[in-house]
Every structure is written in C-alpha cells, then in structure tokens.
Amino acid sequence: QGILLKWLLHYIFNSHHTMFDHLQVVTREFQPNKPDPAPVSHMALNWELPAENILVVGDDKADVISGHKAGTMTALLINDASKASELTPGTPPCDIAISSLHQLLEHLQKPIIIKPSD
C-alpha cells in the first residue's frame, strides 16, 4: 500500500506540478504522532509557509485533528476504513470530504475560501 501511495503522489505531483508548490508525506515514524499537530507544524516550518496556506489530506480522523490543531485546511479521504461518520461530536470537521484523489484535484481547481480562525 505504501508503494502504491508513493507512486500515486508522484503521478499527481508530476501531472499537476503547477498546482502544487510542496508535497511531503509524514509517516507514523515522525514523533509525536498525529493527532498531535507537531508533524504538520514541522512541515510548515520546513516549507516556511503559514499553516493557513497548507491543506492536510488524510484518510483518518487523526489527520483531520492534527491539521486542524496546526491551523491548516483539511481534506478527509473517505473510504472503507475511514468514514465521515468517524468525525464524532468534538472532532474538528474537515474542510473538504472526498471519496477519491480525483475529487481532490477537482476541488483544488476551484477557488478556495479561507475561513477565519476560531
């Protein structure tokens, strides 16, 4: 699964390179793990970008929580393992819910409205 994901990200990045300035994958080896915001904050620091200019895409509510705590926009990839229903009361909502990475590209080609911070 990891090899397929890396290939897919490579394909998306190379096919749509004008859409992405930065692409980075953070794995579970990074400590502390998500849902802590540290992995996302680490990327923002490396890229020298404000968190509000970053979109965290994940297939787990821990990804959404981590991105939300770090101040980014979030996208939840809904599949058999992770469902929108996982976002229970008290869990931050995702900005975008998608069922495929193709849908993500469609969303990214539209204007993104940035919501003010809580």
pLDDT (tens digit per residue) in 87-114: 666 667 888 888 888 888 888 777 766 5
Residue 66, domain extent: 2-108
Q: Which residue has the tokens 């992995």?
A: 39
β partners of residue 97: 76
The count of domains in the chain is 1
Q: How far is CA 100 from CA 2, 73, 78, 80, 104, in A?
A: 17, 18, 8, 12, 7
In this prediction, residue 1 has a pLDDT band, given cuts at 50, 70 and 90, of: very low
116 found inside a domain: no
pLDDT digits (tens, 9 = 90+) for 31-85: 898 899 999 999 889 888 889 888 888 888 888 999 999 999 898 888 776 665 5
67 found inside a domain: yes
86 found inside a domain: yes
- How many Å apart are CA 47 and CA 54, to the nearest integer? 10
Q: How far is CA 46 from CA 2, 27, 42, 88, in A?
A: 23, 16, 6, 32
